[in-house]
Structure 1
Amino acid sequence: MDYQNDLISVSREELINIMQDSMSQRRYRHVLRVEKTAIKLAEMYNIDIEKVSIAALAHDYAKEKSDEEMRDLIISENLELDMLQFGSNIWHGPVGAILMKNEYQLEDEAILEAIKFHTIGSPTMGDIAQIIYVADYIEPRRLHRGVDKARKLAEKDLAATVAYITRQTLKHLVDRKNKIYPKAVETYNAWVVEK
């Protein structure tokens, strides 16, 4: 696939190389699997494949950045400072969106939203964000409890899959007595309770 719409300052091949150079091989292979899964979902739901590809390839761009670098960006870019009470699992989405915007002139709000919210979701996720949220959870090497049900559900109803994944994720965090980022609770309330 060639990118045709000038959504980002690099080609797909260049973006792939950037991701390969910026993360471990294990993480890079995960990113490629997420892209493949996301494109399949995009085709199924008639969602912009180019945007989905860019978001999928870039979703973990900041995942292996140092905590110090991420903290500095959260502060310098005036992101929500309450995020600092949580770890890099929460930080890497919003930080990755900022880095992609600053370093590769990625301006498309739907793609940036997908990168930003791929871990915690958002009450108002658009189609591309939903695809990345789901693809990251169901890519073929994921083995967690409930993933098979999520995969089957993803073939029928994207919004129901978002709700299911959100419920499963919060249940997992509660069962482990982990601190829960408030925005994740907002996602739960919007997708599970209200819908």
Structure 2
Amino acid sequence: MGLSREKLMKAVSGQMPEKRWKHTLGVMEKSVQLAEKYGADPVKADLAAILHDVAKYWPVSEMEAVIRENGLNEELLLHDKQLWHSEVGAFVAQRDYGVDDPEIINAIRWHTSGRVGMSLLDKVICLADYIEPGRDFPGVDHIREQAERSLEEGLIAGFDSTISLLISQRRVIYPLTMLSRNDLIAHL
């Protein structure tokens, strides 16, 4: 990767509001803690956390164009736009920032939905995104408590929270989130 960590942080922070950058800093902090606790690479966790929301505030039309023009997962376009930034962010991490480590790219790609067969780093970034210190939503303390027990228990609690919220709002649930949750339970 060509950019230093500091230059990367400056480049990424410039693409989002200050509040979202504070969230990213929290995800960086929590991902390194989780990586150290559960045996993932803290340097990779830090890098994936810096980049996890790099495309979050891109215009929807630009995210859609990146997905369509680069052969990315077009199924996402049938689902909530909140899912798109992870796919686009993984692409941008490679294209614009020279990240070539597939483990880091995948952790960025799957941080919103999870996936069947999540890697250790996937789990760390996804869970850190749920429980970073600035998060304050109903049920976050339960997710944090479960995260102390295991990455898997924390993620199951996180996915349960997301799925319950979507059900209460009568919104569509992205199928991969359900499959990710079920896979975690099956492998406990």
| TM-score tier after normalising by the smaller chain length | over 0.9
2:73–2:87 CA contact under 8 A, matched in 1: no
The sequence identity of aligned pairs, in percent, is 32
Give 3-state SS (helix, strand or coil) of 2:171's partner. Answer: coil
Q: 127, 132, 135: which one pairs with 1:134?
A: 127
Deviations 1:32-69 (A, max 9, x none): 01101111111111211110000001000000001111
Partner in structure 1 of residue 107 of structure 2: 114
Moved over 6 A (4+): none
Partner in structure 2 of residue 88 of structure 1: 81
Give 3-state SS (helix, strand or coil) of 2:71's partner. Answer: coil
Partner in structure 2 of residue 11 of structure 1: 4
Structure 2: which 5+ residue stretches go unaligned? Answer: none
Give 3-state SS (helix, strand or coil) of 1:104's partner. Answer: coil
Alpha-carbon distance in 1 for matches of 2:182, 2:48: 25
1:106–1:112 CA contact under 8 A, matched in 2: yes
Give 3-state SS (helix, strand or coil) of 1:26's partner. Answer: helix
1:83–1:91 CA contact under 8 A, matched in 2: yes
Q: What residue identity is the alignment partner of 1:96?
A: G
* TM-score, structure 1 as length reference: 0.91
* TM-score, structure 2 as length reference: 0.95
Q: Output the aligned Cα RMSD.
A: 1.3
1:59–1:96 CA contact under 8 A, matched in 2: yes
Q: How many residues align?
A: 188
